[in-house]
Amino acid sequence: MPTSARTYGQFCGLARALEIVGERWSLLVVRDLMLGPKRFNDLQATLPRIPVSILTSRLNELEESGVIRRRVLSQLDAGVVYELTEYGSELDHIVLDLGLWGARSLSDPKPDDAFSIDTAVLSLYTTFREEMAAGVHINYELQYLGGEMVLHALVDDGAVKVSAGSLPSPDMVIEPQGPAMFELLNGGLSPQEALSSGKVRIEGDPADLELFTRLFHIPPAPEAPTGLTIH
Amino acid sequence: MPTSARTYGQFCGLARALEIVGERWSLLVVRDLMLGPKRFNDLQATLPRIPVSILTSRLNELEESGVIRRRVLSQLDAGVVYELTEYGSELDHIVLDLGLWGARSLSDPKPDDAFSIDTAVLSLYTTFREEMAAGVHINYELQYLGGEMVLHALVDDGAVKVSAGSLPSPDMVIEPQGPAMFELLNGGLSPQEALSSGKVRIEGDPADLELFTRLFHIPPAPEAPTGLTIH
DNA sequence: CTGGATCCCTCACGATACTG
DNA sequence: CAGTATCGTGAGGGATCCAG
């Protein structure tokens, strides 16, 4: 009997949802599949700390509950990919919202924290404020880790499309040093200071960096999440 | 060291969110606090299967991360209540959305499934479709379990307010038998059939029951969540 | 009575090694 | 490439006990 089927014993939609995607690692698997189908080893790569046995269990459970689907590729490839079903895809906005909520108590990355290109792509989707993008048309290319990780964001009148890879002729190239992008997004670092301190290098009009921080933003947490409570 | 602090080792908002509210039972505690402050024993009552030690741990963890706050009542009451902080309250729409997503693979309740009045109240908030309520003004009183559990919903031009308790002069009283309300919400039972079969008893205009099913609705899951996959 | 703490058992999790 | 096998640890779960 592979599946745990630990239940909460409640007749409640939230409890049911947590029985489906509430297990440890489950939502991270869903997140990784949001950007497209992936192989078993791809998932292992973007989830470095997941034990293989757990990944196997999660994939089976998510498949049984109709969140993901396993698809066998042609015999030439001799492989299997996992992809979200339509039902699973409808977690998209929940995952993004929860990611934004969590980003508000995110502190600076530890040296060995994993940071994949998928995370970078999703962070832009997560923090995009469409109400600030009405009538805006601009293309950004981002270069993380000294150009080792490149992605781009196409802002097109209230919508955004983010993908991995370079861009032929971007309006602006942004190259954050270390966690500078995160500080830029959460408002801890102003665009001006980012440039003058050298924490962010750009190609293009500095005004477009200011626009960037309005288009992509993590609102501050209402209370200090590190607050010490006096008992 | 009480707190587990199991981390995912990812620099990612979602991973951070799951470190905060991703532990088993955590989001159910948040859900129960969404409708107002509660005491330790109130939480135990609405979460019958939670071990006390786990409830204690979760409350401490959620407090440390700034999601909830413990407030000592006046000495006359000699008690403590737990309530959401502002940061915790901003999980509201995520919890509702996740609840709606999960409700779509909810099957009929098992005999010993817990069903509290809080769950009933939240199920109406969850399933409310504000786009269907523009210009609508109507008050419903719901009586579950043969009148043992009573709540009411005040629909007021695109907004709804749901609370426990009875109502002086509701426009309609709905008294579902067994899981009839759930079937009504997910479309498995039509208003007409609900009345003719006696699965739902009402006081008021039958047309208002039809309105009710438009105001409160669980969309069907895109694929059969109980689907058997052929391997 | 409220608000826990403590004990003990089981199983999910996690690390490592191995296989069709 | 896509998992299984094995095994140690600790979180989850349930009952009971304790302090204000």
Q: What is the DSSP string of chain B?
A: ---------B--HHHHHHHHH-STTHHHHHHHHTTS-B-HHHHHHHSTT--HHHHHHHHHHHHHTTSEEEEEPPTTT--EEEEE-HHHHTTHHHHHHHHHHHHTT--PPPTT-B--HHHHHHHHHHHB-GGG-TT-EEEEEEEEGGGTEEEEEEEETTEEEEEES--SS-SEEEEE-TTHHHHHHTTSS-HHHHHHTTSEEEES-HHHHHHHHHHB--PPPSS-TTPPPP-
**Residues 149-208 (A) with a CB less than 8 A from some CB of B:** 182
Phi and psi torsions of B21, nearest 5°: -120, 15
Please tell me the predicted confidence (pLDDT) of residue A101: 98
Helix (H, G, I), strand (E, B) or coil at A54: helix
Selecting from 3.10.310.70, 1.10.3720.10, 1.10.10.10, 3.40.30.10, what CATH number does the domain B12-90 have?
A: 1.10.10.10
Please tell me the predicted confidence (pLDDT) of residue A74: 76
**Which H/E stretch holds residue A10?**
none
Mutate to test the interface with B, among A7, A10, A28, A228 (most CBs of B within 10 A): A10
CA closest to C1' of C11 belongs to A4
Question: CA–C1' distance A213–C8 (Å)?
Answer: 54
Amino acid residing at B223: E
pLDDT digits (tens, 9 = 90+) for A80-110: 999 999 999 999 999 999 999 999 999 989 8
Closest CA to B218 of B190, B191, B184, B194: B184
Q: Could you name the CATH architecture of A99-215?
A: 2-Layer Sandwich (3.30)
B104 interaction partners in chain A (CB closer than 8 Å)? 13, 87
Question: CA–C1' distance A79–C18 (Å)?
Answer: 21
Phi and psi torsions of B161, nearest 5°: -130, 120
Residue B217, chain A, CB below 8 Å: the answer is no
Domains of chain B by residue range: 12-90, 99-215
Closest CA to B128 of B204, B30, B212: B212
How distant, in Å, are the alpha carbons of A119, A123, A204 from that of A160? 16, 12, 20
Residues with CB under 7 A from strand D: A 6, 39-42, 52-53, 56, 59, 70, 79-81; B 4, 6, 23-25, 49-54, 57
**pTM of structure:** 0.93
Question: CA–C1' distance B231–D7 (Å)?
Answer: 30
Which chain C positions have some atom within 7 A of a protein CB?
A: 1-7, 11-17
B35 pLDDT exceeds 60? Answer: yes
B156 pLDDT exceeds 80? Answer: yes
Question: CA–C1' distance B45–C3 (Å)?
Answer: 14
Please tell me the predicted confidence (pLDDT) of residue A178: 92
Please tell me the predicted confidence (pLDDT) of residue A196: 97
Mean pLDDT by 10 residues, chain A (231 residues): 66 96 96 96 93 94 96 80 97 98 94 92 98 98 96 97 96 97 97 97 98 97 51 25
> Are A99 and B12 a contacting pair at CB < 8 A?
yes
Smallest Cβ distance to B222: which of A22, A86, A114?
A86
